[in-house]
Structure 1
Amino acid sequence: MVEEEEDLKSSGDMVEENEPKKGCSGALCTPINWFRMLCVEMHWSFVMGVLVVYGINQGLGGALYRVGTEYYMKDVQKVQPSEAQFYQGITSIPWLVKPLWGLLTDVLPIFGYRRRPYFIVAGSIGVISMLVLSFHEKLHIALALLSLTAGSAGVAVADVTIDACVAQNSINHPSLAADMQSLCALSSSIGALLGFSVSGIFVHLIGPKGVYGLLAIPFGLVFLIGTLLKEPHSPNFAYTQVNQKFIDAGKAMWTTLKCPDVWRPCLYMYFSLALSLNILDGMFYWYTDSKSGPSFSQENVGYIFSISSVGSLLGAVLYQNVLKDHPFRDLLFWTQLVYSLSGTLDLMLVLRLNLKFGIPDYFFVVIDESVSQMTRRLKWMPLLVLSSKLCPPGIEGTFFALLMSIDNVGLLSATWGGGILLHALKVTRTQFDNLWLAILIRNFLRLAPLCLLFLVPRVDPNSSILPTEILNTKEDIETQETENIELVSLVNRVDDR
């Protein structure tokens, strides 16, 4: 007994000695343990897919694409900011038809495979379109838009596959729905941070067309996923049933959309995005103007966007650790309000009030962009979680793509609305006298969605939103696609373990 007591005492002393070490490394171990938990619960293949599609293709590649396209339109195509906004809307059209990509990947396998061919097609289209933009001396604006739209389609098709897995896992693991959206947001934010950090340097060294050449690499990785993804081969698929599958999926989507618990949040999501007018091209032209604006160099623009992307990362971290369990309606009220107020920084910058207070343009723009990115992320995160909660069983991927297309229609409306506003106020490549008025109008319109919050359920993210009768239709919907995909079937094996 005495020896046992001595052993316990000595082991207790060892625990006490190790406690400070655990406390010091706790902050570093927490995100690692969280990431490891997701790999165990969702399987590493799902996490890998999120990192490649969101982190590399959309995050890092999207950052390079944004800066490269801004300078491509301004310096190579030499278009007005209102025209650039209109063209930006055209290139986003593939994102408006995401339900079509979702239906194809859900019900139409190619050569017996349901996911691998679509990754391969998406990567191939992206590589070809980026190389055309890179190697051609000067494409006609119509051909340039065609290539940019094709590249956008490649990103959209790859995105749909991961979205389907996120929606499926949100239903299988409702308590981890917010964690999965946090993983997507963190991957995208970190990728954007890295991309923006080098975007200005690359634009300066190799030009915007050279940047398009670099963008072939992320698309090549998407192609690589399609060749390496382990997926069961189903050569005896009944293609004669494809039409019926399309009809059944369409009926299920329509039945779900008619539900007030679904169409009301969808209506809010559209108006909350559409009323937040996008005038980013007007601000970008002003940033680089040598007379009216601060005349930032290409490197400075890249650094500003890279530092500001930290704001997006902080927004994702803040949501994950503090806000993810708050009711949707309450959280959306405060995030929308703060998002509107953050636009005041743009107004102060354009009116040059920062110089009157002795704050340099570069420092103030970094603060402005960081706050804007953080508030935009905080506003976007609960909308994504809400969307995943609205997906009925059996057609999760297709319906989530439909919800994202509704959001993208809202973003398109905001982009074209912002372009019309810039054109009406005569904001051009060299004329920025009314840019402050465009910002003021945009800020007031951002407050309008607060009047529509009654459309959003007050439930918290851990609760179910869909009615019981819709949730119980899972038995009536064919779900062979979820059984044949490694990313989803592996999740089911973990759940059944």
Structure 2
Amino acid sequence: MASPRGEIGPKGHPRYTISSRRLPMRDKTFLFFIATYLAQGLIGIAYEPIYYLQKDVLHLGVHESGLFAAAMTLPFLFKPVLGALSDAFPLWRRRRVPYLFLATLGTAAGWAALSAAEHYTVAICLGLLIVVHIGISFVDVLCDGVMVERGKRLQKTGQYQSVQIGTLYLMLVVSGVGGGFLAEHASYKAIFALTACFPLLILFTLWAVEEKPVEDDPYTARRFREGMASLFKNPIFWASSAIILLFNFKPYQGTARFYYQADTLGFSKVFIGALSSIDGISGVAGAGLYWWLLGRKVNFAGRSVTLTTGLLVRLTVLIGAPCSLIWIAYRTPALAAAITALFGLLGVAMRLSLMDLVAQACPKHGEATAFALFMSVFNLAAWGSNTLGATLYGSFGAPIGEHAAMALLIFFGSGCTLLCWPLLRYIPSGEKTA
């Protein structure tokens, strides 16, 4: 009997099938995914103002700002704990919807508390932003649990994630320009009050989440443990995790790039926000590109090859390292816009190939936890590279110059991507030829 999509096949390898290209508009789950990532994308209007809050109000330098961002986003590294809570301990025999309701309200309350604060100190801002990011992390984990559980059953993991990431990047268009405009013209209290409204959008689509009651807690917990045990025995889990960590370790992005843009290149707040919008537009195109490529047959060396998830992961790693060196040319507004557009397109398509790979490998009864483990590796890469990048850029910027320091970080990131190449032999391509 054939294994369902993503379950473990011979020799511990997952079996891959090709998702249908058609978007079944009757699938109301798409509404929930769109609303969730609409809210998460719109929350992004607060992040550029938060950078300026650190820089201009809290008077943090690049190194201190990097540490602040690391502490603020620390909850992203604990997504597996939140996933295990949802998978193993249902509320009212539901694993997703009750937790989604509570996490959404908690996120909105955190932003509202930031808006109501009388004075902004490091302790107040950091404490409330940690609360906010616990809520954001939990909502993300629960949404991914719905995606994996339903997507594997209907063979739609690639479609679901394309819609999720496409929506997120579409909202970057709004949050990029909007964040830059608000940082220039609005008070922090007004910005945080507006941001508090966005998570509530999710509440209006919880009805679209089809969730059957689960068994009593002892049986649910036992099946959860069995599913996670099978995941940890799967070599694909370890190879995929290592590839995700190395491929996404880019110390030239995040805090280091913000200070490089603002202080060294002299970009304005509005232009920095516009770059985020360019990234968003290109990211939507990248999500569409991945949807278009997945399952497509192409002629290569006289044979017809089907572009499976595993094969697209291989292409992602092979072209990632040389392409990343293009960031060295990031010097002028025109080049910054062009490079941002290019990597918005390629970066999202590459990221989706990795996300689809790991979604297919998630075991039954532990969907949220397993996918959260993989996403925590993504977040660990971003968290670690942002912290290291800010530290190195702050340390080497003065002795060797900011341009040289940024180039050093770019070479470092490219080297990490090169280290992914030997790991590809553990990732089955699932290639089908004719």
TM-score range, shorter chain: 0.7 to 0.9
Alignment pair present for 1:166 and 2:134: no
3-state secondary structure, aligned to 1:215: helix
Structure 1 or 2: more helix by fraction: 1
Comparing 107-116 with 315-324, greater Cα deviation is found at 107-116
Look up the match of 2:260.
286
Q: Is the counterpart of residue 459 in structure 1 residue 434 in structure 2?
A: no
Equivalent position of 2:402 in the other structure:
434
Residue 337 (structure 2) aligned to one of 366, 370, 382: 366
- 1:158 and 1:222 in contact (8 A); partners too: no
The one of 125, 139, 142 aligned to 2:120: 139
What is residue 73 of structure 1 aligned with on the other side?
54
TM-score with structure 1 length normalisation?
Answer: 0.73
Contact 1:279–1:422 (8 Å) recurs in 2: no
Aligned-pair CA distance for 1:83: 1.9
**Map of 1:198 onto structure 2:** 178
Query: What's the offset of the Cα at 1:185?
Result: 1.7
Q: Is the 8 A contact 1:68 1:212 kept in 2?
A: no
> 2: CA distance between counterparts of 1:208 and 1:374?
32
User: Which whole-Å CA distance do the structure 2 matches of 1:233 and 1:396 have between them?
Assistant: 15
> Counterpart amino acid of 2:348?
R
Q: Is this contact kept in 2: 1:314–1:374, CA < 8 A?
A: yes
Give the one of 162, 167, 190 matched to 1:187: 167
Query: What residue ranges of structure 2 are gaps of 5+ in the alignment?
Result: 1-19, 297-306
**Residue in 2 aligned with 1:39?**
25
Match for residue 304 of structure 2?
A: none
Aligned residue pairs: how many?
A: 402
- SS of the aligned residue for 2:91 comes to coil
Is 1:392 aligned with 2:376?
no
Matched residue, 1:57: 39
8 Å contact from structure 2 (residues 252, 413) kept in 1: no
Residues 117 and 141 (structure 1 numbering): CA distance in 2 closer, same or farther, change over 3 Å?
same
Which residue of structure 2 aligns with residue 16 of structure 1?
none
1:269 match: 244
Report Cα offsets for 1:381-416 as digits up to 9, x if no partner. 111011111111222222112221222222222122
| Corresponding position: 1:89 with 2:70 | yes
SS at 1:97 equivalent: helix
**Structure 1 equivalent of residue 392 of structure 2:** 421
Aligned partner of 1:107 in structure 2 is: 88
The question of whether the paired residues in 2 share the 8 Å contact of 1:278 and 1:417 is answered with no
Partner Cα separation in structure 1 for residue 94 and residue 236 of structure 2:
35
How far does residue 141 in structure 1 lie from its aligned partner after superposition?
A: 0.8
Contact 1:50 1:184 in 2 (8 A): yes
Does the 8 Å contact 1:181/1:381 carry over to 2? yes
Which residue is equivalent to 2:416?
448
Residue equivalent to 1:254 = 229
Comparing 442-451 with 154-163, which one deviates more in the overlay? 442-451
CA distance in 1, matches of 2:277, 2:397: 30
Q: Which residue of 1 aligns with 2:6?
A: none
Pair 453,99 (structure 1): closer, same or farther in 2 beyond 3 Å:
same
Note if contact 1:273-1:410 (Cα within 8 Å) is conserved in structure 2.
yes
Quote the offset at 1:225 in angstroms.
Answer: 4.3
SS at match of 1:110: coil
Asked if structure 1 preserves the Cα contact closer than 8 Å seen for 2:108 and 2:196, the reply is yes
Pick the structure with greater CA Rg.
Answer: 1
User: Residue 137 and residue 373 in structure 1: after superposition, are their counterparts in 2 closer, same or farther (change >3 A)?
Assistant: farther
Taking the aligned partners of 1:447 and 1:379, their CA distance within structure 2 comes to 17
Is the counterpart of residue 178 in structure 1 residue 158 in structure 2? yes
What's the offset of the Cα at 1:345? 4.5
Q: CA deviation at 1:306?
A: 0.9
Task: Check whether the contact 2:311–2:430 (CA below 8 A) recurs between aligned residues.
Answer: no
User: 1:461 Cα shift?
Assistant: 8.4
- Distance in 1 (CA, whole Å) between partners of 2:210 and 2:313 is 39
5+ residue gaps, structure 1, are 1-32, 351-360, 464-497
Instruction: Tell me the residue number matched to 1:477.
Output: none
- For residues 107 and 209 of structure 1, the distance between their equivalents in structure 2, rounded to whole angstroms, comes to 39
Give secondary structure in 2 for the equivalent of 1:78: coil
SS of the residue aligned with 2:186?
Answer: helix
**Cα distance in 1, alignment partners of residues 212 and 236 from structure 2:** 38
Conserved? CA contact 1:126–1:150, under 8 Å: yes
- Residues in 2 aligned to 1:462 and 1:48: alpha-carbon distance in whole angstroms: 33
* 1:335 Cα deviation from its structure 2 partner: 3.2
Identical amino acids, percent of aligned pairs: 20
Amino acid at match of 1:281: T
Structure 1 residue 424: Cα displacement: 2.8
Contact 2:313 2:353 in 1 (8 A): yes
For the 8 Å contact 1:324–1:461, the answer to whether it is kept is no
Task: Give the drift of 1:380.
Answer: 0.7
